[in-house]
Structure 1
Amino acid sequence: MKKIVLLFCAVAYLSEAAAQPLNSVEIYEQAQRSVTVFEELDDANKPLQALTAIAVASDRAVTICDDLNGKRQLRLTANSKSFPATIMARDSQRHLCLLSVPGGELTKIVSADANQSIQSGARVYALSNALGLGIGISEGVVSGIRPQFGVDYIQFSAPVSPGSDGGALVDADGRLLGIITYRHRDGQNVNFAIPAKWLAEIEQHDKSDIAYKQFRETAEQLQNREQWQKLAEHVEQWIVGHQDDVDAWRWAAIAAEKNSNLDSEENAWRKLHELEPASSIAGAGLVRVKLKRNQRAEALQLAHELLSLRQEDAEIWTIVGQTEQTAGTAAKAEEAYRKALSFNPWQLAAYQGLIGIAEQRNDRGMVTQLWQSLSALNPDLPAIQFKLAEAYIRESRPARAYSLLERLTVPNAHRADADFWEGQTLIALARPLDAVQAFEKSLQGNPTTKAWAYAALGSSYFQLQRFPESIQAYREAVRLEPDNPEWQYGLALSLKDGFRGQEALEIDAQLLKKLPNDPSVWRQKGFTEEILGRHQESIKSMEKSLELEPKQGKLWVALIETYRRAGRDKDVKSAYEKLRGIDSEWAEKAYQSAILPFEEFHP
């Protein structure tokens, strides 16, 4: 009898142990083998966005695919091995994608019983690639089942972050309940997942959703071809019968923006925001519209409302930074941009915002540091390396810029731009003859900014006092960009020093119609008139320039000398006294050239 009792107790104990739920460590060890890092890559194989995917077979995985169009490279990483992936089927309504992972060595996740009801209050765990830091786990409870747009979402409280899209929501036994969709957040720790039972229907929905696929393919083609009016018309026809299609409204907003139709753009972003109140894409679009309408207070309020929903979202912090920057609160903007970079160090728009703030402060050192950071993150992107070289030049460190360009490996497609920046560096190094060769080599290719290359060539020839070649180069720059006053100014300057003053004055007159308060144009006009012997006209132009910008020592000396040649002795003394109060060194030069010789001649 005693043995029977002991045996009964042992069986009861083992049964109880078997029913005991797993702890978080055990759940992580069991499920993380099937939850993978999933990335969308750019042309240089650099991550554009980090997401999560769940293995459903050795060579199949599922993820959330709102922003994946299948055009870019996709990569899935599991067990320290990386595999290329492609989208093989899409459930558009539920935003689910089935991925093909050829040669994958994935571990299929164990799913919960599809017929099992999900109970509110049940313990759940979220496994995902949160913030792109690798697969992690968080704990929470089921808050309820919430129907939205024809899909029953699981609402849960386990914390998630950007990068969690496509992650696994598992129960206390480590079995898959749902696929996390981070975009459907309604507040802090109020998150959603799509029920796992819908995974079996992805391929079926992909085959049956022919009309939507045709709509999407046509929209993508029109967008890639930049046929914005046709895209607007195509989307408008579709929306008539599909008012809740978030993709269609997103395309409608993009087309309206490209067509400069602000009312339609605002309507599209507003509709999308209503459908997806926590979407950073829709919120950012509305904020941009408010800024275009100069409604800064409303833009700022909307940006902060988005932030209250998603504190860890780099895009939203960037939006807040852009709004604060537009509102003129640079310190708050800088704080927001740096917060964005703490969540996503590849957030290019945040870097651009910080660079803009540093430029406003004329903080050349900070501008260079920011481009250095971007250069380290994107060593294979020539455009960023060129911007770093430019920052070195502007910081008066041309040797550093030259060294950077010299060791840079540049694809043939960017060779002409590399030659252009080499020329800019050589100008800064006072090597105009070598710069001419670099610019001419650049123009033999196809530089991104051809007018800039011609203008830089004109500047190099000007430094060599080869005025005919300088004039020819500047004329070509003006032909390519006729409304650029900088090129017109350079052309007028070359004409003046090339003894073609009348042509220079004609360009000065055109510039003054556009820039009537530009002291540099008035100054150049005055010098040209003096060369042509038009002393009285020259005096008026110089006086106008100094009225607009008094701190021009060299021009004061020229004006005083012109007064002397015109016999206006009182004006000589008056101008000299004014210059003494502005710049004593230039006043001394004026005294030596225009006053002292006449004092000695007339003791």
Structure 2
Amino acid sequence: MKEISAIVMLTIAMLCASAMAESMSVNQTGISGNTSERNSFQDAVQGYDHALQLDPGNASAWLGKAQVSQILGNQIESREYFQKALDATNGTLKDDSQDAKAWQAMGVALAGLARNEEAIGALERSIEISDQRLEENPEDADSWWQKAVSYEALYMDYAAIKAYEKVIELNSSKSVGAWIRIADILFVKANGYNESVEAFNEAIRLMPDNASWAGGVVSDQGNSILRTDVWRDDDRILRVTIGS
């Protein structure tokens, strides 16, 4: 199996949507800047900080801060925030040991701390709990989504796609996100490009008319080194991509 830490940024992006959506301000025209003007990342940090003011135990927000610090090369801060996220999930699980999302967040935090075997165990536990809920209610779209994200984090791509397809079949509000995740999984597969395009076209077709795009570039002496893109529908973040 690939190093699980490689999936940390992807999974955080999906887990942190609600925390970022609470406060992050984006500009539809896009944002660019130099090393001292990292506007899009500053916006994200402000959103996470606001979420943490409301709830210091918000694991998703701590994971978001860890992600931004990791992107910007602040490894010591990143590890501190991953630990904060882990502490938060431990607190949540003390109150409710059957919280699938908390187990999933724990898995990501552990992966960020390079505790890979424990991370795998936490993600597998999240899947087990989702399965238990689906035995009671096979049409629980949120549980299918949780399973899909955990499968993807574990590089179980076929299982992830099947779970995302179930989300779509249930006509969930997460259908756009499910098509996007399927598109991204297929994009890196051999001979998967055409299917990836088809899946992303389905996501675009289902995207609300008021969905908007925002982009930010961090540059160093005029040379772009990193870009983040956000698709959103009002206060819901539909997709976050990060790359060079």
The alignment's TM-score, normalised by the length of structure 1, stands at: 0.20
Larger radius of gyration: 1
The alignment's TM-score, normalised by the length of structure 2, stands at: 0.47
| Structure with greater contact order relative to length (CA < 8 Å, sep ≥ 6) | 2
